Structure 1
Amino acid sequence: MRAALVDPHSLPREVRPYLEDLVQRTRTVCGPHLVSVFAVGSIALGDYRHGRSDVDVTVVVDPALPGAVLHELAEALAHPALPCPASGLELVVYDSDFAERPSAEAGYLLDLNTGALLPSRASFDPARSSAFWYVIDRSIAHQSGRLLSGSPVRQVLAAPTERDLFAAILASVREHTKGKGHLSDNQVLNGCRSVAFCRTGHWLTKREAARAIAKTDKDFQPLIESALHSFERPRSTAIALPTATVENFLAWVRERVEEAAETIAR
């Protein structure tokens, strides 16, 4: 019997049974130490695309959870022990003491990447990871996290400070500029989302942000439209965008983020 989700009908039907199984396994492994489970990323923002999007999940546990249980949880949720129907699962576990305060650190107990299209990774050492990804994810979760089980998101998770968040956004733009391991359409769309956040203080979906930037910054409209067209395709058939054009766009994005970060720092 599957665990009941808080609001199953608000979740994409393609991953609803999977999330029910994930919650059930997490409850079984963590027992009374489990505090909360919620979806973040594209599911939280209402822009999940089957065949393209990952399933992003955050788990909050009591600090008294034995360390060995984290390894059990990683094994229980790993693909194909729990087959992931999406491109992959990106799951992060925090203890509640860490989660309830703003932080610029990665701070996780477990960072699990698994799935048919994701390189398998189970990290238990946050010092080995770039912190900015987690800061941004916690910001999105605090804004739009979709509760799956347990305590409400904002009761257990603090938003990062503005200073820490803008530093993280700038670091993410620098990372995407390197290009390594990133689809070019995702580089462009993440850049759009970063600029849109700097302008609005609100996280939009990648497609919403892209349309907004294409409307206001016409010079990049052809590139953004190409990125949106590619984003409609599965990852395996994504369209390669012109490298020089993408780099030029990301340099512009970096300037916009740096301007916003300087304003916050004053």
Structure 2
Amino acid sequence: MSRPSLPPPELRAYLEELVRRTSAVCGDRLASVLAVGSLALGDYRHGRSDVDVTVVVDPALPRADLIPLAETLAHPALPCPAAGLELVVYTADFAARPSGEAGYLLDLNTGPALPERAGYDPADASDFWYVIDRSIAHQAGLPLYGAPARDVIAAPDRPTVLAALRASVREHADGDGHLADNRVLNGCRATVHCRTGHWFPKRRAGEIVAASEPAFGPLIAEALRSFERPRAKAAVLPADDVREFLAWVAARVEEAAEAAGVRARAPRDG
């Protein structure tokens, strides 16, 4: 499975400016800037996907610098050409060790299709999102500045990732704030990760699960077609079918978690 060596052309100028502004604030305390998520996995869809970025800094970075960093990167001060920017800042010592915690210094959500948020206290967040993001970053993070992903981001161990997937599937089963096609394709990605220990792009994971589970093929095909559209034009998928599929995904995650010795209690998730 090929991985991108460069960001998509429509994002390159934006990401170059993001790195420039981050470096201007952090100076020699900046260790690495990585494109993660769909950008790293080669599944970015312009008009649909967020830009996911992980920043790693020296622990000596003054905490007072985080507010101007958020301000200079926020849309529209830095106009985001994607649906949104999800940027997380970690200290190098935290990022270098496996962890089931959120652990960030700054969690910035901004952009034309995202509610504006700059969080500075990881106790306010759901840990599982960050565990999954760091696991993807370790596998596939695309360096934009500084050290490669595997040199700065530790991979959470399998039990920790499976516990995070358990919480993630529960979150998507509730449905609040998530598009139906994304719920289905995230479920596919979770299933394939449980089987393989590897992160696949959502669309490829959807194809894999549809081929192996024909009963869910029509629903996954609808989700894949919808995923090609902008967020505002996403299809409404049959709610009962989505719930049934996610219950099946939850059972697959539970099987993998039990095999790995994960206790019933997931990481703190809210």
What's the TM-score once normalised by structure 1's chain length?
0.96
d(CA) in 2 for partners of 1:114 and 1:256? 34
Match in the other structure for 1:5: none
Match in the other structure for 1:257: 253
Matches within 5 A, 1:1-266: 10-265=6-261
Question: Unaligned regions of 5+ residues in structure 1, if any?
Answer: 1-7
d(CA) in 2 for partners of 1:63 and 1:10? 28
SS of match in other structure, 1:60: strand
d(CA) in 2 for partners of 1:197 and 1:154? 19
Range 133-142 or range 8-17, more displaced: 8-17
d(CA) in 2 for partners of 1:97 and 1:233? 40
SS of match in other structure, 1:84: coil
Q: How many residues align?
A: 259
CA contact (8 A) 2:5 2:142 kept: no
d(CA) in 2 for partners of 1:153 and 1:247? 35
d(CA) in 1 for partners of 2:191 and 2:111? 30
d(CA) in 2 for partners of 1:186 and 1:193? 10
d(CA) in 1 for partners of 2:176 and 2:152? 34
CA contact (8 A) 2:184 2:242 kept: yes
Deviations 1:89-110 (A, max 9, x none): 0000000110000000000000
Deviations 1:193-221 (A, max 9, x none): 00011111110000000000000000000
What letter corresponds to residue 179 of structure 2 in structure 1?
L
CA contact (8 A) 2:31 2:56 kept: yes
SS of match in other structure, 2:208: helix
d(CA) in 2 for partners of 1:125 and 1:211? 38
What letter corresponds to residue 168 of structure 1 in structure 2?
A
Question: Unaligned regions of 5+ residues in structure 2, if any?
Answer: 263-270
What letter corresponds to residue 119 of structure 1 in structure 2?
P
Deviations 1:48-76 (A, max 9, x none): 11000000000000000001100110001
Pair 9,132 (structure 1): closer, same or farther in 2 beyond 3 Å: closer
Displacement of 1:9: 6.7
After superposing on structure 2, the runs of 4+ consecutive aligned residues of structure 1 that deviate more than 2 Å are none
Deviations 1:103-127 (A, max 9, x none): 0000000000000000000000000
Displacement of 1:10: 1.6
Structure 1 vs Structure 2: percent identity of aligned residues? 66
Aligned-pair Cα RMSD in Å: 1.0
d(CA) in 2 for partners of 1:108 and 1:191? 25
What's the TM-score once normalised by structure 2's chain length?
0.95
